[in-house]
């Protein structure tokens, strides 16, 4: 008897601790019962913006295992005819559109190393990005894609599947002079890109972001990435501003008598 | 190439800014159309009571139009005249900044922040860009503007301001409710312009805004602007934001109505083409840098959009 009492106490404490942990993992919900995705989020794996495929480190790029969960080899299933363009992009990777302040496109904008804030209502979810005041409006209202309008960051229509926000992103920009890339090594797509995102808040502080890309002009089959997003918990953390063209302008704007240089000309 | 149409739209938009008076008239006409529900559309329902969220607070989520104030100092900028109380006042500059603003209007229009696709600041954003959308949840109210695609986040969680050494184009905005009025305190705003006509301000502004909903379709807006460096006394700027009830042709057959679409204010492209050495911008007598982006050197700088009123200095 003496030995069973501590055992049952231990079992009780274990159960209490377990259920307590379970409660603390419950995700917040909005008034309509949907998962509340609002907050400030960011990827921790900053190697993905350098290269979304598995890669060793190179100058300015963290080594990383990539984000592609399908196909199993972690590589983008390029059509043989599309590989040459990817190699050309790699040689010209200094001309990464993001380095010239263009909108990063989807899904790249999710894993560039900048935070973003989700603002959630029942009719519209806005994602506001620190990177060059990008924002996306996501409509979970049953609406169809807009005909005849192209977007750098796509046109986003959403619905809920259980606790997952599924976003269908289409109508990507088809201007070959101003492409969007998946990363800074030149992994690319055509205007036929179609992305299906799946946003699942898995705990108060984490969200799994999956995106499946299909583009019959460039890929032999659909492929899927999975990225873990973390919620910023620092007190007072906020979205700042990254207006990158100002950094490009700095040299020529010195001494021109303009008052904007005060913003970036002085280390304060 | 459909995006080109969007670019053309933006260029046209920027060109419209150049003709401030005409632009004012267009916007007023547009707003008048909006009140009628758009050309050919059914009349909008009459304004109802203030829209409220689950917490009972006013909910500003939706599409809004503010008055266009490309020149805030012409008596039509909504500045309160302290002597009469009418909204026909002028900027109470001190002598030094009166001269500075006049010089900017005369000589430095190419620096107009809007022409560089930069966020315009507080309260300027409400005056020089077309309509905006508001999205409000428990954490924040986020504004996003149709032209130049600026965004502004107003935090609602009683947080502290950012350290005083930081400067942001949109400033650091923290809001709280006083009854049905949203009161927003903005500090750390970078030096910028109050309009698109050279009304410069310092980087020491402090702005307190009040957003008071009058009915479902109207928000009374008041901003008390302090700038101890540029102004002789604080100035009060007022406006009435009206819900955007215009339904453009592309949205008429959609049950969900109007949506604000993405604006690529030719991010970086115009500036790199027109302003940077590497793009061959100002420095046309110098060879292009090795890292010049594709097409930026050989193509002549386009005339018109993005350049501001004065064009690059010769």
Beta-sheet pairing, A206-214 with B218-226: unpaired
Residue contact B267–A103, C-beta within 8 A = yes
Q: What is the largest CA-CA distance in chain B?
A: 63
Interface test with B, best of A178, A233, A251 (most B CBs within 10 A): A178
Q: Please write the tens of the pLDDT for every residue from B265-278.
A: 754 444 444 444 44
Residue A266's CB is within 10 A of a number of other CB atoms, namely 9
**8 A C-beta contact, residue B82 and residue B73:** no
Of the candidates B158, B138, B173, the residue with the CA atom closest to the CA atom of residue B59 = B138
Domain boundaries, chain A: 39-237
Domains, in order of start, for chain B: 2-251 (2.40.128.20)
User: Rounded distance, CA B219 to CA B237, Å?
Assistant: 14
For residues B208 and B182, the answer to whether their CB atoms sit within 8 Å is no
pLDDT tens digit sequence for B198-255 = 999 999 999 999 999 999 999 999 999 999 999 999 999 999 999 999 888 888 888 8
Given CB atoms, is B108 within the 8 Å cutoff of chain A?
Answer: yes
Among chain A residues, the shortest Cα distance to B189 is held by: A263
- Looking at residue B62, its pLDDT comes to 96
Q: Lowest mean pLDDT: which of B23-37, B57-71, B72-86, B169-183?
A: B23-37
Mean pLDDT of A72-83: 97
Q: Closest approach of chain A CAs to the CA of B150, in angstroms? A: 6
- Structure confidence at residue A268 as a pLDDT band (50, 70, 90): very low
- Measured between CA atoms, how close is A195 to chain B, in angstroms? 17
Looking at the complex, report in whole angstroms how far the Cα of residue A246 sits from the nearest Cα belonging to chain B.
8
Q: What six digits make up the tokens of A205? A: 């502080």
Question: Touching check for B283 and chain A: CB below 8 Å?
Answer: yes
* Cβ partners under 8 Å of residue B176, min gap 6: B156, B158, B182, B183
B262, B277, B286, B296, best to mutate vs chain A, most A CBs in 10 Å: B262
Kindly determine whether residue B6 and residue A149, on different chains, have CB atoms separated by under 8 Å: yes
Q: Please judge whether B203 and A101 are an interchain contact, meaning their C-beta atoms are less than 8 angstroms apart.
A: no
Chain A interface includes B204 (CB < 8 A): no
Residues A142 and B259 sit within 8 Å (Cβ to Cβ): no
Question: Are B138 and B55 contacting, i.e. CB atoms less than 8 angstroms apart?
Answer: yes
Query: What one-character-per-residue DSSP string does B270-283 give?
Result: HHHHHT-TTTTSS-
SS (H, E, C) A193-214: CEEEEEEEEEECCEEEEEEEEE
């Amino acid at each position: 008897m003496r030995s069973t009492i501590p055992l049952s106490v231990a079992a009780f404490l274990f159960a209490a601790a377990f259920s307590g942990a379970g409660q603390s993992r419950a995700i917040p919900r909005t008034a309509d019962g949907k998962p509340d995705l609002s907050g400030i989020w960011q990827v921790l794996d900053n190697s993905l913006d350098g290269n979304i495929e598995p890669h060793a480190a190179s100058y300015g790029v963290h080594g990383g295992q990539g984000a592609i969960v399908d196909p199993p080899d972690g590589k983008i299933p390029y059509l043989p005819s599309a590989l040459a363009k990817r190699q050309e992009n790699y040689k010209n990777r200094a001309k990464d559109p993001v380095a010239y302040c263009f909108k990063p496109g989807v899904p790249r904008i999710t894993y560039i190393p900048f935070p973003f804030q989700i603002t959630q209502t029942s009719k519209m979810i806005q994602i506001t990005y620190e990177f060059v005041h990008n924002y996306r409006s996501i409509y979970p209202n049953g609406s169809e894609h807009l005909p005849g309008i192209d977007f750098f960051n796509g046109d986003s229509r959403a619905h809920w599947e259980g606790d997952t926000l599924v976003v269908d992103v289409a109508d990507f920009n088809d201007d070959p002079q101003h492409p969007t890339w998946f990363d800074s090594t030149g992994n690319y797509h055509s205007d036929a890109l179609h992305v299906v995102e799946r946003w699942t808040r898995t705990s108060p502080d984490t969200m799994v972001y999956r995106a499946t890309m299909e583009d019959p002009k460039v890929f032999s089959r659909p492929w899927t990435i999975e990225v873990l997003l973390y919620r910023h918990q620092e007190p007072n953390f906020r979205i700042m501003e990254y207006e990158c063209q100002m950094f490009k302008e700095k040299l020529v704007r010195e001494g021109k008598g303009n008052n904007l240089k005060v913003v970036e000309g002085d280390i304060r | 190439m459909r995006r080109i149409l969007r670019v053309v739209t933006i260029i046209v938009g920027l060109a419209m800014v150049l003709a401030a008076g005409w632009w004012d008239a267009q916007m007023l006409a547009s707003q008048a159309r909006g009140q009628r529900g758009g050309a050919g559309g059914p009349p909008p329902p009459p304004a109802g009571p203030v829209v409220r969220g689950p917490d009972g607070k006013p909910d500003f989520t939706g599409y809004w139009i503010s008055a266009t104030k490309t020149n805030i100092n012409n008596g039509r900028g909504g500045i309160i005249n302290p002597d009469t109380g009418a909204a026909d006042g002028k900027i109470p500059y001190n002598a030094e900044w009166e001269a500075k603003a006049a010089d900017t209007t005369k000589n430095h229009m190419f620096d107009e922040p809007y022409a560089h696709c930069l966020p315009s600041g507080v309260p300027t954003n409400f005056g020089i860009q077309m309509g905006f959308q508001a999205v409000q949840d428990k954490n924040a109210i986020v504004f996003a503007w149709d032209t130049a695609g600026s965004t502004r986040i107003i935090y609602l969680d009683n947080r502290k301001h950012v350290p005083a050494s930081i400067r942001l184009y949109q400033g650091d905005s923290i809001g709280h409710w006083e009854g049905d009025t949203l009161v927003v305190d903005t500090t750390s705003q970078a030096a910028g312009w109050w309009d698109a006509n050279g009304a410069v301000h310092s980087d020491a502004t402090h702005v307190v805004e009040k957003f008071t909903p009058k009915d479902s379709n109207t928000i009374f807006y008041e901003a008390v602007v302090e700038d101890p460096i540029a102004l002789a006394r604080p100035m009060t700027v007022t406006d009435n934001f009206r819900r955007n009830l215009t339904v453009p042709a592309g949205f008429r057959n959609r049950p969900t109505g109007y949506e604000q679409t993405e604006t690529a204010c030719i991010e970086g492209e115009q500036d790199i083409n027109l302003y940077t050495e590497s793009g061959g911008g100002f420095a046309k007598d110098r060879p292009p840098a090795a890292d010049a982006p594709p097409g930026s050197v050989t193509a002549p700088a386009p005339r018109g959009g993005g350049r501001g009123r004065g064009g690059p200095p010769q």
